[in-house]
Amino acid sequence: METVLAFVIGILFAVGIYLMMRRSLVKLIIGLGVLGHAANLLIFTVGRLTRGEPPLIGKHEEVLSGTFADPLPQALILTAIVIGFGVQVFAAVLIKSAYRIVGTDDLDEMKSTDETQP
Amino acid sequence: MPSLILSTATRYLLPLMLLFSVFVLIRGHNEPGGGFIGGLVASTAYALYAISSGVEKARAALPIEPRYIIAVGLGIAVTSGMISMILGDPFMTSQWLDTVFPVIGKVGTPVMFDTGVYLVVIGVTLTIIFNLAEGE
Amino acid sequence: MNILLILPILVPFITAILCLFFWGRVHFQERLTVAGMLILLIIGIALLSDVHENGIQTAQLGSWEAPFGITFAADMLSSIMVTITGLMGLMTALYSVVGMDETRERFGYYPLLNILLMGVCGAFLTGDVFNLYVWFEVMLIASFVLLALGGERAQLEGAIKYVTLNLVSSAIFLMATGILYSVTGTLNMADLHLVVGDVKQPGLVTVLAMMFLVAFGIKAAIFPLFFWLPASYHTPPVAVTTIFSGLLTKVGVYALIRFFTLIFVHDTNYTHTLILIASGFTMVVGVFGAVSQLEMRRLLSFHIVSQIGYLLMGLGIFTAASLAASIFFMVHVIIAKSALFLVSGVVNRLSGTYDLKKLGGLYKASPTLSILFFVPAMALAGIPPLSGFWAKFALVRAGLEAEDYLIVAISLFVSVFTLYSMIKIWSEAFLKKPKVTPGQINFREADWLQMLFPLAVLAGLTLVLGIAVDPVYQLAQEAAEQLMNPTLYVTTVLGGE
Amino acid sequence: MLYAVVSGFGAALVAPLIHQSVRRWSGWLLVLLPLALFGYFASHMEQISDGEKIAFAYTWVPSLDVELAFMLDGLSLLFVLLVSGIGALIVLYGSAYLADHPQLGRFYAYLLMFMASMLGVALADNLITLFIFWELTSISSYLLIAFKHDYESSREAAKKALIVTGAGGLALLAGLILVGIEADTWTISELASRKDVIQEGGLYLPALLLILVGCFAKSAQFPFHFWLPYAMEAPTPVSAYLHSATMVKAGVYLLARLHPSLGGTDEWHAIVTGVGGLTMLIAGFIAWQHTDLKKILAYTTISALGILVFLLGIGTGLAVKGAMIFLLVHSLYKGALFMVAGSIDHETGTRDIAQLGDLAKSMPFTAVGAGLAALSMAGLPPLLGFIGKEIIYEATQEAHDLLPLVLTAAALLANIFNVAAAAMVTLKPFTGQAAHTPKHPHEAPLAMWIGPVVLGGFTLAFGVASNLLLKDFFAQTVAAVYGKPYEVKLGLWHGLNTTLVLSVVTLVAGGLLYAYLRQILPIVKPLNVGEKLGPDRLYDIGFEGILDFASLTERFFQNGHLRYYLMTIIFTLSSLLILTMTTQIDFDSIQLNVDDVLLHEYLLAGLMIAAAITITMTSSRLMAVAALGVVGYSVALLYVFYGAPDLAMTQFSIETLSVVVLVLVLYRLPKFKDFSTPRSRARDGIIAVMFGGLVTTLILIITSEPLQSRLSPYFAENSYVLAKGHNVVNVILVDFRGFDTMGEITVLGVAAIGIFALLKLRPSSRKEE
């Protein structure tokens, strides 16, 4: 499955990057979202996949035994998902505010801070 | 115009879902769940209430500003870590009470920490949703 | 467990939480923040002296032994950075009391400032790669909000670029961290030092080095990844720009130094040469940007980029002497650059503009402000006996000793233009007859003094650091020796052996 | 001795305050410091003349091998006496010259700071200490040149001086460090003993060149000389002090100081003599073509500096002796003449010699000083200038290793120009017919004429009693430069010899040049292309060129387009990855393994890809958001399949929330528009696919090897035993790595505050700062 996912992740990265390189604010934020999914999925995949065995210690057991999914990447991804959520929601609201102030969705209209001659 | 059925339903659903969210929080240490997911369940309940009955009512149903919930949550989380410092252990060393409580199970600082997470998530989600909804 | 390692996180965190509780009471938040920053500075100094006396300090969070839990570790570099963070926090907070508009203060300026510093300190102290990512994010989100706080058009436009490019950096960082774990099976930096050599495909470690180089390179604003900085740094209020310029890019540099002295040292011919090349371009392109500017804060922002080149130069040369020079340079540039940004704030308060074409007459209007600009400006240009001279001298000497002549030549060439751009500000904003008459110093005497106080401290420090350079330089040397000898760090963190 | 240096800086700090409190008398009060310093240094004269050296060293920065080391020998004593002595006269002069200037206090501060720095340069016995003071002279001179800061010309002149000397300074720094590294010592007095090590090392030539650039820039040698005439924008006291008597001689000083360790090689002879000779001729040639007093003096100064450098380049004992005597000669007469020029300007309102005449009557004291100085400059007996010139001719004739004839001819020519210029700056203004001047001329105040008179007096006294007053002392000065003892005999009469003939020729030719100036000028004017096409223009063009290039670079890189920024970053990362992977990765290990993939997994992967493609293709915002949601839910489903229930639950709820927020946010935003051209879409597509491909390759390489986690077994074993939790993921989150979670909820909290502030705090609701 890693092989298949490798291609899926590659496509997600390409799509995310491509969207972010558009001039539209909306595509930018959606691109960021795709990029986030891609990164999380990547950690999950390179952390190796184990089908169906969650890292839960049985009711009457003391240690996790047998095959089980690596819990650490899961914990990392969980943290990353939540952080990503916070950051992306903020970015979305930022874009909304920018649209409200600048009055356009076109990033090419938002170059004033890079213009040398004021 | 919020539908009457939905608003009536959510009014009864709200306490139930809140209860459920606490349950998800508590069982998280041993089963899938935890503060984060619990917090999301609770805030979804409020969000539904806000959609069906309006933001003002949802705000009124909340005892305090969501912002303070965040502050309280963060405060609880950091306090849970500092308890061990007072007891002379490194920061965030887990401390457990020996007694096992009914329903809740074992009580210790990690559970307290998770409660902090739970509250922060509620506060954050509600802040976002209320403000976004009001903005429109 | 050394409590001094955790306090730099806890103090700003608790201050921030208290500020949240006292949301409406801005003046109380001001005082709380100033007090918190003062404590942070004191903790920083205590940590510095502790590490100086007793060697590298560690703390295993939650008592979980390394590498299983999260380790905090403070070597000299970390301690120096934490101390300077405390100093910057205190100065910015003091300036903000008068220099920040109340509307922003009402919308969470102080809690955000505290959390920003919490993230910065966390990044400096953690010994765990993923935990570093978390602190980066804490710092970033706080900086996002601080940057956009106020919602002016320029701020929002700047923030979009800043946010997007930094999120790309975070995504690369996250990817790299995931891959690092999947290749080595660990996240603890000390542990990584031990196991990167065992990776079956050594090339993968270099690939990872490249990913981290780009991820941190974006944060550190090196060439050609720096675009977000000049696009955004001049848009928020000056106090925010000051703390950003002082600390944020430096966290990126810190991370580069940490990773490329502790983890990625297996193929320095390749990795560190790349860093050296980047450093040369960063210096030149940064200073070229600076000399082209007519807006004071933009000019200074481009200089940040240029100075980052100097900081990297020491890492690229990769000797104990060059690293020491870089660390000293970092301390110097944080102080000098912050002083200059604060001056630009006062200038704006007096004249109502940052535009060099319109400015003028400040030399006559305020001799005090003139001195407070001229000293750090000359320090930045590397004029002796100010701090910048020693930084430059040490770096050039290290470069010549290592026979890296080209980069030395570039750094000296850039230095001429640094001087030129500082003189440009001086000549235009201070000496020239003004187009806009600078306003009377029409705020209350006490406010005026309070605005100038942090400036005077920072400007004074560039002088003090220039004259009493030895004690500080020795600390930098000590830090560099620890970095060049990572075994020390590794055994302290992992214990035993 | 440290106090002697530091006192100047201290005085500079308090000078404005002193000036504020005593106003009129501040000059007379502040002059006490340079006078005291002069006295202090003069008191060592006897010791030094006996061949002693006085050294002091204080530890300063041991970690960088810099100590605050000072040494007083014949060479440094000559310099510090000039600096403090002329400094005293200038403080007085300045106090009257700028009597009503509102910023006189600052003037004193800069002047004293300069004096202290100059003393530091002359006394320093550590390469870096010397450099520090050297740079301080540049900065204080910048402040002084820009003193009349309301004028753009002043500001630009100061900037030019600072950039040229500053750039030279950086070259010098590199050179000094190379010498320090090669010699393995930073103490200047120890360098001579390691002469062989330095000169035979591979770094000798670069070090020498770099140091020479620094010295030449400071001492206004060709082709770096052009900043000096501009620097005449400074108030005249400054020109008199810095740009004639002291600062510009710092380069000469350093050449002299390093002569024992760096000198004597073929490279030294060729470059130093050549540059010096060229400078003295070019500047001398230009000098007498000007009519502005200060311009004439500026060019003769450059010429004189050229002579000094020229002599040091020759480097024989006689040449060194000539250089040292001429250095004293020049400082005395040029300081005096500059002050005279300032007085004339101050009292008549002009310094154009065409508009001046017959001032000797109205300004008698000034005229005396001017006369003595000019006679010395022209090299007439019995003034010291005559002795100086004689030794120069002797030295050039005796430079057997080089080209004595050429050198003598060059010196002769330079001296002829000098004579003409001397005549111009004194004969023209002070004699002949009275001319109409903007102000009615009258004598300058005491503080202003005392300087020229005192300096003129010294010139006379030294000339008449040269052997008595200077012999022993100069023996030490010359020894310090020459590197070994050298007997110095001085005197006005050397017998009838070629040298005397040369002196006479100089005077006659110089006189003729002055007399027929009006006829000669039109002939030489066309020759004088140097001012238009010379180094000055080159500097302007070059510097402007770099600035233009800089702003071009800036606009190219910082172009305001987020997508280009992003593209550059992705492109950089991709290039680095490709470069690394192609050289260091073994691609054979890649295993494409799809045997175990189940049908529903294929479907899920297909769904994700389809959704992703949909996002790029759709023109509807809601469709894009929905497709994004599909990707998110599919990821969640994948988590379910692969043993991550906590992740799945989180992903589900977060995804729901994200979609809600996105819909709320995007509700008001416009429809997708296609702004970009097909070409840019194709280009972006290629870059995106390239990056995606790299990621895929990387994953394939990584997953071909099994993972040996060093951490997870520990979690598996201790999650329940030590941390009392069955859900390992949750235990990691709240306990093992609880600190991560702490950071994570902080991020959330800050995001919420940010969103609140963004939505509620709008610029319109805020009053302007």
Which pLDDT score, from 0 to 100, does residue C440 have?
Answer: 55
Co-location of D665 and D716 in the same domain:
no
Question: How close is the nearest chain B Cα to the Cα of D727, in Å?
Answer: 4
- The answer to whether A83 contacts chain B (CB < 8 Å) is no
Which pLDDT score, from 0 to 100, does residue D580 have?
Answer: 94
| B11-47 pLDDT per residue, tens | 788 888 889 998 888 888 888 888 889 998 898 888 8
Cβ-based burial of D464 (10 A; exposed 0-12, middle 13-18, buried ≥19): middle
Strand bridging mode D54-61 / D66-72: antiparallel
Mean pLDDT of C317-342: 96
Co-location of D307 and D433 in the same domain:
yes
When mean pLDDT is compared over C149-153, D553-557, D636-640, the highest value belongs to D636-640
Cα–Cα distance, D287 to D292 (Å, whole number):
10
When mean pLDDT is compared over C21-25, C73-77, D464-468, D725-729, the highest value belongs to C73-77
Please judge whether D650 and B37 are an interchain contact, meaning their C-beta atoms are less than 8 angstroms apart: yes
Question: How close is the nearest chain B Cα to the Cα of D676, in Å?
Answer: 30
| C122-167 pLDDT per residue, tens | 999 999 999 999 999 999 999 999 999 988 889 999 999 999 999 9
| D113-159 pLDDT per residue, tens | 999 999 999 999 999 999 999 999 999 999 999 998 888 999 999 99
Q: Which ranges in chain A belong to alpha helices (H)?
A: 2-20, 25-46, 71-102
Q: What residues of chain B have any CB closer than 8 angstroms to a CB in chain C?
A: 67-68, 70-71, 74-75, 78, 82, 84-85, 89-94
DSSP string, D574-612: HHHHHHHHHHH--GGG-----TT--HHHHHHHHHHHHHH
Which pLDDT score, from 0 to 100, does residue D526 have?
Answer: 72
pLDDT band at C442 (very low <50, low <70, confident <90, very high): low
List all residues 6 or more positions away from D183 whose beta carbon is below 8 Å from its beta carbon.
D190, D191, D194, D197, D198, D261
| D302-316 pLDDT per residue, tens | 999 999 999 999 999
Question: Two tokens at B109?
Answer: 């600082």
Which pLDDT score, from 0 to 100, does residue D419 have?
Answer: 92
Beta-ladder partners of D57: D69
Co-location of D394 and D500 in the same domain:
yes
Please judge whether C400 and D181 are an interchain contact, meaning their C-beta atoms are less than 8 angstroms apart: yes
Substitution target from B46, B79, B94, B134 for chain D, most D beta carbons within 10 A: B94
Name the residue of chain A whose CA is nearest to D618's CA: A27
Task: Report the percentage of chain D scoring pLDDT > 90.
Answer: 57
Mean pLDDT of D87-106: 90
Substitution target from B72, B127, B130, B134 for chain D, most D beta carbons within 10 A: B127
Cα–Cα distance, D80 to C423 (Å, whole number):
30
Question: What are the chain D neighbours of B29 within 8 Å (beta carbons)?
Answer: 724-727, 730-731, 734
Q: Which domain holds residue D374?
A: 266-517
Beta-ladder partners of A56: D727
For tokens 């799809």, the residue is D594
Cα–Cα distance, C372 to C459 (Å, whole number):
6
Question: How close is the nearest chain B Cα to the Cα of A50, in Å?
Answer: 17
- D309 within domain boundaries: yes
List all residues 6 or more positions away from C101 whose beta carbon is below 8 Å from its beta carbon.
C150, C237, D766, D769
Task: Report the percentage of chain C scoring pLDDT > 90.
Answer: 83
Which pLDDT score, from 0 to 100, does residue C433 have?
Answer: 84
- The answer to whether D361 contacts chain A (CB < 8 Å) is no
Substitution target from D136, D728, D753 for chain C, most C beta carbons within 10 A: D753
Cα–Cα distance, D47 to D54 (Å, whole number):
9
Write b or e for each residue in C167-194: b if 16 or more Cβ atoms lie within 10 A of its Cβ, otherwise e: bbbbbbbbbbbbbbbbbbbbbbbbbbbb
Residue C275 main-chain phi, psi, to 5 deg: -60, -40
In the predicted model, is pLDDT for residue C106 greater than 60?
yes
- The secondary structure of chain D in percent helix, strand, coil, rounded to multiples of 5, reads 75, 5, 20
Question: How close is the nearest chain D Cα to the Cα of B90, in Å?
Answer: 12
Size (chain B), residues: 136
Q: How many interface pairs between B and C have CB atoms less than 8 angstroms apart? A: 44
Any chains having at least 3 CB pairs less than 8 A from chain A are B, C, D
Cβ-based burial of C457 (10 A; exposed 0-12, middle 13-18, buried ≥19): middle
Which pLDDT score, from 0 to 100, does residue B1 have?
Answer: 44
Q: Which residue has better confidence, B63 or C51?
A: C51
Which pLDDT score, from 0 to 100, does residue D768 have?
Answer: 40
Report in angstroms the alpha-carbon separations of C137 from C5, C20, C166, D740.
Answer: 20, 20, 10, 11
Handedness of CA D396, D398, D402, D405 (dihedral sign): positive
Which pLDDT score, from 0 to 100, does residue C44 have?
Answer: 97
Nearest to D559 among A48, A85, A114 (CB): A114
Question: What are the chain A neighbours of D748 within 8 Å (beta carbons)?
Answer: 82-83, 85-86
Task: Report the percentage of chain D scoring pLDDT > 70.
Answer: 97
List all residues 6 or more positions away from A6 whose beta carbon is below 8 Å from its beta carbon.
A45, D695, D696, D699, D700, D703
Q: What residues of chain D have any CB closer than 8 angstroms to a CB in chain B?
A: 645-646, 649-650, 653-654, 656-657, 660-661, 664-665, 667-668, 723-727, 729-731, 733-735, 738-739, 741-742, 745-746, 748-749, 751-753, 755-756, 759-760
Q: Which of D673, D691, D723 is the last residue of a domain?
A: D673
List all residues 6 or more positions away from D694 whose beta carbon is below 8 Å from its beta carbon.
A10, D574, D577, D578, D581
Any chains having at least 3 CB pairs less than 8 A from chain B are A, C, D
Size (chain D), residues: 769
In the predicted model, is pLDDT for residue C437 greater than 90?
no
Q: How many interface pairs between B and D have CB atoms less than 8 angstroms apart? A: 129
Q: Do residues D651 and D611 touch, judged by C-beta distance below 8 A?
A: no
Cβ-based burial of B11 (10 A; exposed 0-12, middle 13-18, buried ≥19): middle
Of D575, D692, A77, D325, give the one whose Cα is nearest residue C174.
A77
In the predicted model, is pLDDT for residue C174 greater than 50?
yes
Cα–Cα distance, D165 to D173 (Å, whole number):
12
Angle at D269 between CA D267 and CA D272, to 5 degrees: 95
Cα–Cα distance, C385 to C376 (Å, whole number):
11
- The answer to whether C159 contacts chain A (CB < 8 Å) is yes
Cα–Cα distance, C407 to C280 (Å, whole number):
6
pLDDT band at C378 (very low <50, low <70, confident <90, very high): very high
Q: Do residues D447 and D298 touch, judged by C-beta distance below 8 A?
A: no
Co-location of D338 and D473 in the same domain:
yes
| A53-98 pLDDT per residue, tens | 888 888 888 888 878 889 999 999 999 999 999 999 999 999 888 8
Which pLDDT score, from 0 to 100, does residue B88 have?
Answer: 85
Which pLDDT score, from 0 to 100, does residue D533 have?
Answer: 62
- D272 within domain boundaries: yes
Please judge whether B29 and D660 are an interchain contact, meaning their C-beta atoms are less than 8 angstroms apart: no
DSSP string, C275-300: HHHHHHHHHHHHHHHHHT--BHHHHH
Count the Cβ atoms, other than its own, within 10 Å of residue D582.
10
Nearest to A87 among C137, C148, C187 (CB): C137
Cβ-based burial of C413 (10 A; exposed 0-12, middle 13-18, buried ≥19): middle
Domains of chain A, by residue range, sit at: 2-50+71-103
Q: Which of D673, D702, D728 is the last residue of a domain?
A: D673
Question: What are the chain C neighbours of A47 within 8 Å (beta carbons)?
Answer: 178, 181-182
- The answer to whether A28 contacts chain C (CB < 8 Å) is yes
| C198-254 pLDDT per residue, tens | 888 888 999 999 999 999 999 999 999 999 999 999 999 999 999 999 999 999 999
In the predicted model, is pLDDT for residue C1 greater than 80?
no
Cβ-based burial of D615 (10 A; exposed 0-12, middle 13-18, buried ≥19): buried
Question: What are the chain A neighbours of B32 within 8 Å (beta carbons)?
Answer: 54, 56
Question: Two tokens at D144?
Answer: 């002084």
pLDDT band at A4 (very low <50, low <70, confident <90, very high): very high
Mean pLDDT of C400-410: 95
In the predicted model, is pLDDT for residue B51 greater than 80?
no
Which pLDDT score, from 0 to 100, does residue D674 have?
Answer: 66
Least reliable range by pLDDT among B48-62, C31-45, D723-737: B48-62
Q: Which amino acid appears at position B17 of this protein?
A: M
Please judge whether A94 and C235 are an interchain contact, meaning their C-beta atoms are less than 8 angstroms apart: no
Q: What is the mean pLDDT of chain A?
A: 88
| B93-108 pLDDT per residue, tens | 888 888 777 767 778 8
Nearest to A113 among C133, C140, C235 (CB): C235
Please judge whether B89 and C63 are an interchain contact, meaning their C-beta atoms are less than 8 angstroms apart: yes
Beta-ladder partners of C59: C72
Mean pLDDT of C444-470: 90
Question: How close is the nearest chain C Cα to the Cα of D64, in Å?
Answer: 7
- The answer to whether B85 contacts chain A (CB < 8 Å) is no
In the predicted model, is pLDDT for residue C443 greater than 80?
no
Please judge whether D727 and B29 are an interchain contact, meaning their C-beta atoms are less than 8 angstroms apart: yes
**SS3 for D70?**
strand
Q: Do residues D238 and D147 touch, judged by C-beta distance below 8 A?
A: yes
Which pLDDT score, from 0 to 100, does residue D763 have?
Answer: 65
DSSP 8-state code for residue C24: T
Question: What are the chain A neighbours of C293 within 8 Å (beta carbons)?
Answer: 116
For tokens 């230009």, the residue is D286
Q: Do residues D531 and D289 touch, judged by C-beta distance below 8 A?
A: no
| C52-90 pLDDT per residue, tens | 999 999 999 988 988 899 999 999 999 999 999 999 999
Please judge whether C470 and D61 are an interchain contact, meaning their C-beta atoms are less than 8 angstroms apart: yes
Question: What are the chain D neighbours of C206 within 8 Å (beta carbons)?
Answer: 580, 584
Which pLDDT score, from 0 to 100, does residue D528 have?
Answer: 67
Nearest to C156 among A86, A97, A114 (CB): A97
| B67-89 pLDDT per residue, tens | 999 999 999 999 999 998 888 88
Number of domains in chain B: 1
In the predicted model, is pLDDT for residue C32 greater than 90?
yes
Please judge whether D597 and A4 are an interchain contact, meaning their C-beta atoms are less than 8 angstroms apart: yes
- In C282-342, where do the E strands start and end? none
Question: What CATH code is assigned to A2-50+71-103?
Answer: 1.10.287
- The answer to whether D726 contacts chain A (CB < 8 Å) is yes
Name the residue of chain A whose CA is nearest to D591's CA: A3
Cα–Cα distance, D172 to D126 (Å, whole number):
14
Cα–Cα distance, D726 to D722 (Å, whole number):
11
Q: What is the mean pLDDT of chain C?
A: 93
| D612-621 pLDDT per residue, tens | 999 988 888 8
Residue A56 main-chain phi, psi, to 5 deg: -115, 135
Please judge whether D705 and C200 are an interchain contact, meaning their C-beta atoms are less than 8 angstroms apart: yes
| D659-680 pLDDT per residue, tens | 888 888 877 666 666 667 888 8
Please judge whether C6 and B91 are an interchain contact, meaning their C-beta atoms are less than 8 angstroms apart: yes
Mean pLDDT of D575-599: 88
Distance of CA D484 to the CA centre of its chain: 34
- D285 within domain boundaries: yes
Q: Which domain holds residue B17?
A: 4-135
- D639 within domain boundaries: yes
Q: Do residues A80 and A41 touch, judged by C-beta distance below 8 A?
A: no
Based on DSSP, count helices (H) and strands (E) in chain C, helices before strands: 22, 2
Question: How close is the nearest chain B Cα to the Cα of D758, in Å?
Answer: 10
Q: Which residue has better confidence, D762 or C120?
A: C120
Please judge whether A116 and C298 are an interchain contact, meaning their C-beta atoms are less than 8 angstroms apart: yes
Question: How close is the nearest chain A Cα to the Cα of B121, in Å?
Answer: 10
Cα–Cα distance, A27 to A18 (Å, whole number):
9
Question: How close is the nearest chain D Cα to the Cα of C469, in Å?
Answer: 7
Cα–Cα distance, D187 to D363 (Å, whole number):
50
